[in-house]
């Protein structure tokens, strides 16, 4: 009586043997002589049949959807069963009998979202969370391969990183603090000690707009390193994307197949990626949108149009300084242009922003003042330019945007187990 995971049976490793599985009832269909159960565990779903003559019958009759159980029987190949294998049950024991499960086929999307704590048991969410874990694993693998050190930045911060409009403030004893929007400035501190650093940590944005690509809490993969320029940055980012996409394409085939997502687009992700300047992007977009002019920020719609042309990840770089944060380095001979780069993908648009950071203290102070920021709030940041300043670059990529693109999800909220949006923060 071997205790096995359902995946082992589906992989043909337990044929004609006596097995025991532990899991939950996923579906149940009851006939006069036969009960069909679909049982799920973390690894998969398998069909189990219980015959009236079997000693398991009376327990099987009592089972309700989502009841926890142990089931023992003979595993065999059966072409008619979903997954190609089934267990002919000889013993069933109820571990936890479920009350009437609220999620049924006819329920609305809204209802399902309200039942997130139960919906996370669905096949879809199970598979998405597995791919998510793999993406994290492969991203870390790439950073480590490139000799980056993982660091742990703070979530409570005293000054805004980006503009103040999407900042969450909070009471911190008798002071006002914020939740971090990006760990970039902290990574900039750490490069002077560890050189190549990265973190995978939450970022918080008070995004009021409801879009398919914004959360109020998301996981941000950020890297920063010294002696780096724009070319180093783009090479690293495309290398990271290639590595993650190739590894997922190799190792997540079952998950993609069951989710009905196209895995081939991931095998096709290979460096180098196309690169166009912001000015070229504006020229391309003007054809469809003549009102657009140099200096305008690219919106979601513009990014989608650009991305449709490429049909794969690409870079847009050299943005106008006026639409970029104070820390972005500018060309010495063209101060109106910032050394900044976004990576974009089809349907989602921007998935990362990066760039060279201003290493000159006086230019940095001037840029802060232009943006109505108080240099005295950033004394520690200015110290980095006082003591051994160095050209450096870095980027931040949203894990959920990456997953939404990879898995072709309709909305970013399905890429994270407990999405936080303007309206959702329960449980």
- Asked whether 199 and 151 are in contact (CB, 8 A), the reply is yes
**Phi, psi (rounded to 5 degrees) for 181:** -100, -15
Tell me whether residue 73 or residue 396 sits nearer to Mg ion (CB atom): 396
Q: Looking at beta carbons only, is 87 or 221 nearer to ligand ATP?
A: 221
Cis peptide before 427 (omega within 30 of 0): yes
| 3-state secondary structure (DSSP) of residue 178 | strand
Backbone angles phi, psi at 53, to 5 degrees: -75, -15
Report residue 179 CA to chain centroid gap.
Answer: 20
Instruction: Tell which one of 126, 321, 340, 352 touches ligand ATP (CB under 6 A).
Output: 352
> Which span (21-29, 75-83, 349-357, 379-387) binds Mg ion, by CB under 5 A?
349-357
Residues 198-217 that bind ligand ATP (CB under 6 A): 205, 207, 214-215
Is 346 an interacting residue with respect to ligand ATP (CB under 6 A)?
no
Q: How far is the CB of 345 from Mg ion (least distance, A)?
A: 13
Q: Which of ligand ATP, Mg ion, none does residue 195 bind (CB under 5 to 8 Å by kind)?
A: none
Asked whether position 184 contacts Mg ion by CB under 5 A, the answer is: no
Plot region of 70 (φ>0 → left; ψ -120 to 50 → alpha; else → beta): beta
CB of 115 to Mg ion, least distance (A): 33
| Helices 300-310, 278-286: inter-axial angle, 10-degree rounding | 90
387-406 footprint of ligand ATP as x/- string (CB under 6 A): ---------xxx-xx-----
Question: Residue 162 binds what, of Mg ion, ligand ATP, none (CB under 5 to 8 Å, by partner type)?
Answer: ligand ATP
Taking the complex as a whole, the smallest distance from the CB of residue 119 to ligand ATP amounts, in Å, to 20
352 binds, among ligand ATP, Mg ion, none (CB under 5 to 8 A by kind): ligand ATP
The site for ligand ATP, by CB under 6 A, has a size of: 17
Question: Per rule CB under 5 A, is residue 353 in the interface with Mg ion?
Answer: yes
Confirm or reject binding of residue 351 to ligand ATP (CB under 6 A): yes
Residue corresponding to tokens 């950033």: 378
Residue 50 in contact with residue 89, Cβ under 8 Å?
A: yes
User: In the set 218, 273, 314, 378, which binds ligand ATP (CB under 6 A)?
Assistant: 218
218 vs 378 by CB, closer to ligand ATP = 218
């Amino acid at each position: 009586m071997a205790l096995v995971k359902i995946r082992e049976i589906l992989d043909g490793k337990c044929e004609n043997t006596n097995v025991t599985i532990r899991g939950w009832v996923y579906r149940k269909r009851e006939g006069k002589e036969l009960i069909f159960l679909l049982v799920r565990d973390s690894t998969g779903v398998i069909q189990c049949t219980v015959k009236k003559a079997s000693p398991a019958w009376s327990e099987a009759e009592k089972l309700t959807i989502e009841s926890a159980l142990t089931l023992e029987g003979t595993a065999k190949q059966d072409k008619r069963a979903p997954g190609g294998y089934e267990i002919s049950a000889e013993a069933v024991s109820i571990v936890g009998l479920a009350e009437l499960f609220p999620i049924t086929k006819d329920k609305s999307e809204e209802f399902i979202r309200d039942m997130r704590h139960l919906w996370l048991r669905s096949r879809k969410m199970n598979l998405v969370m597995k791919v998510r874990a793999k993406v994290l694993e492969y991203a870390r693998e790439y950073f480590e391969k490139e000799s980056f050190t993982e660091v742990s930045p703070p979530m409570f911060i005293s000054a805004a990183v980006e503009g103040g409009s999407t900042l969450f403030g909070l009471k911190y004893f008798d002071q006002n603090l914020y939740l971090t929007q990006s760990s970039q400035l902290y990574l900039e501190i750490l490069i002077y000690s560890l050189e190549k650093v990265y973190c995978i940590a939450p970022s918080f944005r008070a995004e009021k707009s409801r879009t398919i690509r914004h959360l109020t809490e998301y996981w941000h993969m950020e890297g920063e390193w010294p002696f780096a320029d724009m070319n180093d940055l783009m090479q690293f980012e495309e290398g990271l994307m290639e590595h993650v996409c190739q590894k997922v394409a190799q190792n997540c085939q079952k998950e993609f197949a069951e989710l009905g997502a196209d895995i081939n687009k991931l095998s096709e992700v290979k460096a180098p990626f196309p690169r166009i300047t912001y000015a070229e992007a504006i020229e391309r977009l003007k054809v469809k949108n003549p009102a657009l002019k140099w200096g305008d920020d690219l919106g979601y719609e513009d990014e989608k149009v650009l991305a449709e042309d490429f049909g794969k990840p690409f870079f847009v770089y050299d943005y106008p300084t006026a639409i970029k944060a104070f820390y972005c380095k500018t060309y010495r001979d063209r101060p109106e242009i910032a050394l900044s780069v976004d990576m974009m993908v089809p349907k989602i648009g921007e998935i990362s922003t990066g760039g060279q950071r201003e290493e000159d203290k006086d230019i940095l102070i001037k840029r802060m003042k232009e943006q109505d920021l108080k240099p005295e709030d950033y004394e520690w940041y200015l110290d980095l330019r006082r003591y051994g300043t160095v050209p450096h670059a870095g980027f931040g990529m949203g894990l959920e945007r990456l997953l939404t693109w990879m898995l072709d999800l309709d909305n970013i909220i399905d890429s994270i187990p407990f999405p936080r949006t303007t309206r959702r923060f329960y449980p």
